[in-house]
Every structure is written in structure tokens, then in C-alpha cells.
Amino acid sequence: MQLPNNIKQFRHLRTLILLLALAITGDGRLQAQTCPPNIDFETGTYNNWTCYTGRVAAVNNTNSISLVPSGPQANQHTLY
């Protein structure tokens, strides 16, 4: 039995709408994550941050970087 073209188009449209609805709603497992506290220094302090001091050197044409955790150092770690 031959279906009229408008019924065939309706089936394609129905399938497209269903696929779009599934794509938009997802499967429900996705969740937003919260940012760590003070991520943008909103408190004006270094709370929840780790500052480092260290040295950079070229050893045998290879860059060498050594870091040591430290508290905030004047003129090295500055908030504006």
C-alpha cells in the first residue's frame, strides 16, 4: 500500500522532533559542578590557594624548573 507524501513527511518530522527532544534533555546523568571556594580571589586573600617559589635554570640546553610550596611572598605574589 502506497502512503501519501504528507504522511511520510509527518513520520520524518515526528522522528526529527523526537531526536531533538532526546538531544536537548540528555540522559539526566550530567550535573553542574561547583567551583572551589575563593577561585577568583573574591575574599581578597590566598585562602585555598598554594603559592610557590622556585628557580629556573638552563642545564645542558634543557630548562630546569624547581618549585617549593611557600606562603605568599611580598613582591612575588600580589593581588590587585
Please report the pLDDT score of residue 62 as a whole number: 93
pLDDT at 38: 92
Are the CB atoms for 53 and 73 separated by under 8 Å? yes
pLDDT greater than 60 at residue 1: no
Phi, psi angle pair for 63, to nearest 5° = -70, 135
Paired with 68 in beta bridges are 53
Q: Which of 10-19, 20-29, 59-68, 71-80 has the highest mean pLDDT?
A: 59-68
pTM exceeds 0.75, yes or no: no
Q: Where are the domains of the chain?
A: 5-70
pLDDT per residue over 2-48, tens digit each?
Answer: 656 666 667 778 888 888 887 777 666 667 788 889 999 999 999 99
**pLDDT score of 70 more than 80:** yes
Report in angstroms the alpha-carbon separations of 14 from 8, 35, 80.
10, 40, 56
